[in-house]
Amino acid sequence: MSGTSGAIDEAARTRGLQKENHMTTHTTPNAPTSGSPRFTSGALVTLEVRRALRNKKFLFFSVIYPALLFVIIAGGADSTTEVAGTGLALPAFMMVSMASFGALTAVLMGNSERIAKERQSGWVRQLRLTSLPGRGYVLAKTASAAVVSLPSIVVVFVTAAAVKDVRLDAWQWLALTGAIWAGSLCFAALGVAVGYSATGDAVRPITMILYFALSLLGGLWMPTTTFPHWLQTLADWTPTHAYAALGRAIELGGAPHAGDVVLLLAYFLLFAGGAAWLYRKDTLKA
Amino acid sequence: MVHMTTTETTAGTARGTAAEAAGSAVSFDRVTKAYGDVVAVDGLSLDLYPGETVALLGPNGAGKSSTLDLLLGLRRPDSGTVSVFGTGPREAITAGRVGAMLQSGGLMDEVTVGELVRLACDLHPRPYRVQDVLAAAGIAQIADRRVNKLSGGQEQRVRFALATAGANDLIVLDEPTTGMDVTARQAFWATMREQADQGRAVLFATHYLEEADAIADRVLVLHRGRLLADGTAAEIKARAGARKVSFDLDELRADGAAAVEQRLRELPFLSALDLSGHTVRLQSTDADATVYALYGLGVHPRNLEVAGLGLEQAFVAITAAEEARSA
């Protein structure tokens, strides 16, 4: 059989080459493989953002819900009494908490659940059969989460200013927005790590536990000053605590404390490193 | 010769690697992949060429899916090398030379069919127009429908559209017509033929053997991770032992039937003989010679028919023979 199949190979090859030659005159010219780098991830980012903005449940929980919680918690509080040991009145204190909480919801939930579900459905595998660089997927997920987290921050701010008369300098509003938005990247990385370690069924409970623990211990729902001492000590080391502290320092008119920035950065490196490791592991076994 | 020179120049400037000059689209060189104790692919070597439509056959667990995964760089071989157009699979995919449709490939949900196909076109380095891709896959009329609201057959077509969003040189399809009805299946293969006619290599795994018989100009039979047969469907059938010969023989009803039967059993190139009443069914590795010898016996066969084995029977015969040999 080897003789005949050799002849077939030869025939097919010649036929292929003829057709290929014929093709090049008709279709778009072949792009050189090492051509100008294209921002291929852009197309996926656009579609992910569009999809996120279409998901009403996701939008409610990340954009409307934090502002609603703010009104419920800070609504009855007067604007002069300080939250013990913080130098901030309750509305201002809760504004940063809820803005941070909203951003956390958007990026953590957005990344972890989607990634785990799409790994299970095989969409991640399908994407690996396109020109999209592997990290493009994670990038697109994070970018779309960030697009939703920005309005969730702004809506809390607007609500606080309108309902509870929170007043800050223009630079403070901008710095707050920037700090809370940038800080949310830490939790976006955590979301990616969870998405690549959990299965489609387990991802929701795992995310919820992390989400509640981080929100509660970080003092996003109530000041940690009300905690017993041992819990306060533990809370001081959570990433969410450092995250909310960035905003509070800005509200007090200063720069974020170096200690908080370093802690948050350390967590970011830990989460991002873990996410990268899990991603690579997942890629190898597909 | 003149023609060859010009094509080589074209190919050389446009693509230009050593393996290109040899013309192979896909090359497996002694590739092995095991999962724990299970050897899924066992020292597999094969080459596919542009313009070929190749069917990959094998019983369940023969290593078809693993072979496709290795070809597409979704898994790495334990040993040996896989090259696609002279580079690694991942490089070939990044360069937009390979389109693939996997059974395990999912779709992004909560978006429309049109949006998803647009994404595939946007991601492809040499994309076709979105409308053309939709039309070719027969899904233009459902472009506005949400992906999570599709039937199984429609999902398959969307997967096909994703695999053909740009000018690929190799298309890989894993059980592509699963979930399609007969009409959809025919339409699908018509589209696929067009792709092959444009000079692409098409490799498909299937368990519909009639599809392989009708579509493929080359058939690969995998068994326990090894290549058991490689040739045209006709060659595979020939290799399986052959052709069927059947006839009626009145001499079997007369006296001396036992002697006639004995002489039938001594016919040359016989691989199987089945007598029922006066009807004789036999398989022969050289039907011409067997029939010639049959007339030489001085008997008078009636209703003589000579037919080839179907690919399905051939496939079963080949894998069963291998199973028996390795047992």
ipTM of the modeled complex: 0.76
pLDDT for B180-214, tens place per residue? 788 878 888 888 888 888 888 999 998 777 888 88
Of A5, A14, A123, the CB nearest to B106: A123
Do A17 and B162 lie within an 8 Å CB cutoff? no
Whether A267 is covered by a domain: the verdict is yes
Of A9, A20, A120, the CB nearest to B199: A20
Do both B183 and B270 map to the same domain? no
- DSSP 8-class letter at B127: B
Do both B295 and B207 map to the same domain? no
CB of A125 within 8 Å of a chain B CB? The answer is yes
Element (H, E) at A82: strand A82-83
What CA–CA distance (Å, rounded) separates A158 from A105? 18
**What is the domain-level CATH number for residue B270?**
3.30.70.100
Do both B245 and B114 map to the same domain? no
Given B237, B262, B284, the domain boundary residue is B237
CB of B21 within 8 Å of a chain A CB? The answer is no
Whether A119 is covered by a domain: the verdict is yes
* Mean pLDDT on A131-156: 86
CA end-to-end span of chain B: 50
- Distances in Å between the Cα of B253 and the Cα atoms of B258, B264, B276, B283, B302 are 10, 14, 11, 22, 13
CB of A232 within 8 Å of a chain B CB? The answer is no
Whether A15 is covered by a domain: the verdict is no
The whole-number pLDDT of residue A210 equals: 93
What CA–CA distance (Å, rounded) separates A33 from B289? 56
Given B178, B208, B237, the domain boundary residue is B237
- DSSP 8-class letter at A100: H
Whether A263 is covered by a domain: the verdict is yes
At B3, is the pLDDT very low, low, confident or very high (cuts 50, 70, 90)?
A: very low
What CA–CA distance (Å, rounded) separates A6 from B231? 9
Do both B189 and B44 map to the same domain? yes
At B255, is the pLDDT very low, low, confident or very high (cuts 50, 70, 90)?
A: confident
Of B51, B102, B218, the CB nearest to A16: B51
User: Which domain does A185 fall in, by range?
Assistant: 40-285
Do both B253 and B188 map to the same domain? no
The whole-number pLDDT of residue B133 equals: 93
Whether B152 is covered by a domain: the verdict is yes
Whether B322 is covered by a domain: the verdict is no
Phi and psi at residue A51, in whole multiples of 5°? -70, -40
Whether A243 is covered by a domain: the verdict is yes
Whether B258 is covered by a domain: the verdict is yes
Do both B230 and B299 map to the same domain? no
Residue A76 class from Cβ within 10 Å (0-12 exposed, 13-18 middle, 19+ buried)? exposed
How many angstroms separate the CA of residue B288 from the nearest CA in chain A? 19
Whether A176 is covered by a domain: the verdict is yes
**What is the domain-level CATH number for residue B158?**
3.40.50.300
Q: What's chain A's average pLDDT?
A: 82
Q: What's chain B's average pLDDT?
A: 85
Q: How many structural domains are present in chain B? A: 2
Q: Judge whether B240 and B319 are in contact, CB under 8 Å.
A: no
User: Which domain does B158 fall in, by range?
Assistant: 24-237
Task: Take residue A121 and report the two structure tokens written for it.
Answer: 């459905």
Whether B324 is covered by a domain: the verdict is no
Please say whether the dihedral angle defined by the alpha carbons of residues B280, B285, B290 and B291, taken in this order, is positive or negative.
positive
Q: Is A118 helix (H, G, I), strand (E, B) or coil?
A: helix
Do both B191 and B281 map to the same domain? no
Cβ neighbors of A167 (< 8 A, separation 6 or more) are A161
Of A13, A24, A285, the CB nearest to B10: A24
How many angstroms separate the CA of residue A3 from the nearest CA in chain B? 10
Whether B139 is covered by a domain: the verdict is yes
What CA–CA distance (Å, rounded) separates B233 from B327? 27
Do both B32 and B181 map to the same domain? yes
Enumerate the residues of chain A whose CB falls inside 8 A of the CB of residue B95. 31, 33, 131
Given B237, B261, B290, the domain boundary residue is B237
Whether B2 is covered by a domain: the verdict is no
Tell which of A39, A120, A131, A281 to mutate to test the B interface (max B CBs under 10 Å): A131
How many angstroms separate the CA of residue B8 from the nearest CA in chain A? 8
- Tell me which range, A35-49, A127-141, A151-165, is most confidently predicted by mean pLDDT: A151-165
Do both B153 and B297 map to the same domain? no
At A39, is the pLDDT very low, low, confident or very high (cuts 50, 70, 90)?
A: low
Do B23 and A8 lie within an 8 Å CB cutoff? no
- Least confident stretch, A20-34, A106-120, A251-265, B191-205: A20-34
The residues with which B170 forms a beta bridge, in sequence order, are B98, B201
Do A43 and B197 lie within an 8 Å CB cutoff? no
CB of A126 within 8 Å of a chain B CB? The answer is yes
Do both B297 and B197 map to the same domain? no
Contacting A residues, span 4-33, partner chain B, CB-CB under 8 Å: 4-5, 8-9, 12-24, 27-31, 33
Q: Judge whether A163 and A71 are in contact, CB under 8 Å.
A: yes
Give A221-277 as a DSSP string.
SS-GGGS-HHHHHHHTTSHHHHHHHHHHHHHTTSPPPHHHHHHHHHHHHHHHHHHHH
Do both B107 and B210 map to the same domain? yes
Of B10, B105, B231, the CB nearest to A122: B105
CA end-to-end span of chain A: 37
Whether B169 is covered by a domain: the verdict is yes
B212 torsion bin: left (phi>0), alpha (psi -120 to 50), beta (else): alpha
Whether A88 is covered by a domain: the verdict is yes
CB of A285 within 8 Å of a chain B CB? The answer is yes
pLDDT for B268-286, tens place per residue? 988 888 888 889 998 888 8
Do both B200 and B250 map to the same domain? no
* Mean pLDDT on A263-273: 93
The whole-number pLDDT of residue B10 equals: 35
CB pairs under 8 A between A and B: 169
Whether A11 is covered by a domain: the verdict is no
Pairing of strands B98-101, A82-83: unpaired
Q: How many structural domains are present in chain A? A: 1
- Distances in Å between the Cα of B147 and the Cα atoms of A30, A117, B139 are 31, 15, 12
Measured CA angle at A197 (ends A193, A203), to 5 deg: 95
What CA–CA distance (Å, rounded) separates B63 from B54? 16
- Distances in Å between the Cα of B74 and the Cα atoms of B49, B104, B162 are 21, 12, 17
Whether B134 is covered by a domain: the verdict is yes
Nearest CA in chain B to A133: B94
Of B49, B74, B167, the CB nearest to A27: B167
How many angstroms separate the CA of residue A72 from the nearest CA in chain B? 33
